[in-house]
Amino acid sequence: MAAGSNPSGGSLVAAALRRLKPKRIIAIARDGEETEVSIVGERGQYERAFRTLTSLGAVQARCLDADGAVCEVLPLGPTDESFAPAVPAPAASASAPSTRAASAEVAELLRITLEAQDRAVARQTDILREVTDAAVSIMRLSSQAAQASADRADKLERMLQAISVKRERELAAAAERMSELPPEAGAPSPVEQADEMMMQVLKLAGGLVAPPAPAAPTTTPKPS
């Protein structure tokens, strides 16, 4: 019997195609050769697909959905038990759901990784901002401390200058007062003090020049 010669079988296959509504159909020949059958048009497209399967002498029709997954494998041709075409479904059809699940898992892991990276970048940005703020605060405090030290040094210098001027004035006033006092009895005169100082300088210099002889003291004769 030719493939698809049974009208009732053909109508059942066409009905199955209308029920499954596959997006693609793979015709499988007796020797295992596969041929893709196009589904065109809107009305009667599955009957036309069945007629194409019959003309190709297909023994099986593998129905695929839009994602390429196998919806169902429909048997065609002879129905006696002695004929059992060994055309297994491709391994990809069984692994298609697992592949989609693996892809979804990879996408989820990628999303988690990207979120973790975003959080890490945000944290690093916060740390950098905190470090920058701390550095600015330290520089501000250092500048303030340096200015305060300069102010204290300037104030101390002015105080020392004022004390020095005051001390000089006090010494000058004291010297002036001492110069106005009469000489004490028996105290050397200013000339004698200068001669004494000169003698000490000459002694320190090695005694190269002899100092001038001191003037003889004048005595007033006592009245008889």
**pLDDT tens, position by position, 84-134:** 444 444 554 545 566 777 888 888 888 899 989 999 999 999 999 999 999
> Does the residue 181 lie in any domain?
no
Helix (H, G, I), strand (E, B) or coil at 116: helix
Give the model's confidence band at 1: pLDDT under 50 very low, under 70 low, under 90 confident, else very high. Answer: very low
How confident is the model over 40-73, as pLDDT tens digits?
777 888 888 888 888 888 999 999 988 889 989 9
User: How many domains are contained in the chain?
Assistant: 1
Whether residue 27 lies inside any domain: the answer is yes
Question: What's residue 131's pLDDT?
Answer: 93
Whether 107 is covered by a domain: the verdict is no
Within 8 A by CB and 6+ apart from 117, the residues are none
Determine the Cα–Cα distance for residues 172 and 175; give it in Å rounded to an integer: 5
Which residues span the domain enclosing 52?
7-79
Confidence check: pLDDT of 81 > 60: no
Q: Report yes or no on 32 lying in a domain.
A: yes
